[in-house]
Amino acid sequence: MTTEEQSQKLFDSDDEIAWCPGCGNFAILTAIKTALFELNKRPEEILMVSGIGQAAKLPHYIRTNGFNGLHGRALPPAVAAKIVNPELTVIVHSGDGDTYGEGGNHFIHNIRRNVDIAHFVHDNQIYALTKGQASPTTALGQVTGIQTKGNLDQPLNPIMLALAAGASFVARGFTGHQEHLINLMKEAISHPGYALIDILQPCVSFNKVNTHRWYADRVYELPKEYDTGNLSQALEQALEWGEKIPIGIFYREEKPTFSDHLVWLADRPPLVDRVWEPRDAEKFMKELE
């Protein structure tokens, strides 16, 4: 069996996939299974968390622990689960609308929290589950069923936003560069701290502008000599979008994670294994005497 076959077998879910044929999500699903397999992860060590959207169905299509929560709210339960059980490899899969629209506030503040999770945003620049409305990354002027006169709002730049908010790992991938994407995923999962990959993917049903061809013609991989430790250069690089679209790791930095700051827990078991009796709290009552 090839690596891919082995990984598909280990992480295979018996759930029927409800994505459209040709959807970019299939490539992401294959990539994540392969990345996890190559990292020697076991299904029970992994927690996949998602919100709502086409991307957010992914936890159903992979055999790992899963928490498919609310639209826009994938990050809060994900970081909390990681804090409670740091042994879990926690990965968030959610879409551009889920992450940057409904969940924008959690996106910004969980970058600040820097909990050790990986966040893979399936960015097809459209709302797909609700059948084709503008997302926060849809181009200005793009016509949809609701943006009938063209999208009136300029798209946000997730890479720039993540960098500005202080993310410790910021990358962009593309479903058409599978090997590259698998490597990005492995780097992101291994990175200590919050790691974002904005993954460009075509929506074959609802985005007739940003097609596979459209991306494939523009995307290029950041060269080997690109310095991933230079924030101002990364910000500059993040501005590039249009004729040419860079993919790869824009920036990475090792800095203390949320758990590193919990020094009072350092010598204690993870919260999930906490041993506690009611009487252990009795000492706090003495202060009220």
Partner 1 sequence: MDFNILVGGAAGQGVDTVAKVLELILKKQGVEVFSHKDYMSRVRGGHNFHQIRFADRPLYSHREDLDVLIALDATTVKVHSSQLSAQSVLIADESYRTEISAGKALWLPLKEKAVEAGTKLTEGTVAVGAVLRLFDFDFAKVWPVLQSLFKVEIFEVNRRALELGYTLTEPQFKLEFTESQPKIMVTGNQAIGLGALAAGVSFYSGYPMTPSTGIMSYLASKMEEAGIVVEQAEDEIAAINMAIGASYAGARAMTATSGGGFCLMVEGLGLAAMTETPLVIAEIQRPGPVTGFPTRTEQGDLAFVLTASQGEFPRMIIALRDPEDAFYQTFRAFNLADKFQIPVILLGDQYLGDYYQTIPPFDFSGLTIERALAGEEVWKQTEHYQRYKLTENGISPRLVPGRCGTQVVLADSDEHTEDGHITEAADVRVAMTNKRMQRLEQLREEVQEPWVVGQTDPEIVLLAWGSSAGPVREAIELLEEDYSIGALIFGDIYPLPTKLLKDLKPNVTMLINVEQNATGQLAALIRQEALIACTHSILRYDGRPMSGQYISDRVKEVISK
- Judged by the rule CB under 8 A, the positions of this chain that interact with partner 1 are 15, 18, 42-45, 47, 49, 52, 57, 59-60, 63-70, 73, 75-85, 87-88, 105-106, 108-109, 262, 264-265, 268, 271-274, 276-285, 288-289
**Nearer CB in complex with partner 1: 1/285:** 285
- CA 273 to chain CA centroid, Å, is 27
3-state secondary structure of 106: helix
Closest approach of partner 1 to the CB of residue 70, in Å: 5
Determine the residue type at 195. A
- Let me know: does 201 contact 53? Beta carbons within 8 Å: no
48 beta partners: 66, 91
**Nearer CB in complex with partner 1: 36/171:** 36
**Nearer CB in complex with partner 1: 79/182:** 79
Distance CA 60, CA 122 (A): 16
| Of residues 251, 253, 224, the one with CA closest to residue 237 | 251
Closest approach of partner 1 to the CB of residue 11, in Å: 10
Closest approach of partner 1 to the CB of residue 182, in Å: 22
Closest approach of partner 1 to the CB of residue 60, in Å: 5
Closest approach of partner 1 to the CB of residue 98, in Å: 13
- Let me know: does 191 contact 37? Beta carbons within 8 Å: no
**Nearer CB in complex with partner 1: 58/171:** 58
Closest approach of partner 1 to the CB of residue 178, in Å: 25
Distance CA 130, CA 264 (A): 45
DSSP state of 102: I
Closest approach of partner 1 to the CB of residue 68, in Å: 5
Cα-based angle 120, 125, 127 (whole degrees, multiple of 5): 95
**Nearer CB in complex with partner 1: 92/203:** 92
**Nearer CB in complex with partner 1: 100/250:** 100
**Nearer CB in complex with partner 1: 206/258:** 258
**Nearer CB in complex with partner 1: 76/155:** 76
Closest approach of partner 1 to the CB of residue 59, in Å: 7
- Let me know: does 49 contact 81? Beta carbons within 8 Å: yes
- Longest Cα–Cα distance of the chain, Å, equals 73
Pairing of strands 169-174, 245-252: antiparallel
Distance CA 61, CA 13 (A): 5
Distance CA 175, CA 214 (A): 12
Distance CA 16, CA 4 (A): 20
Residue 133 tokens read as: 């409305």
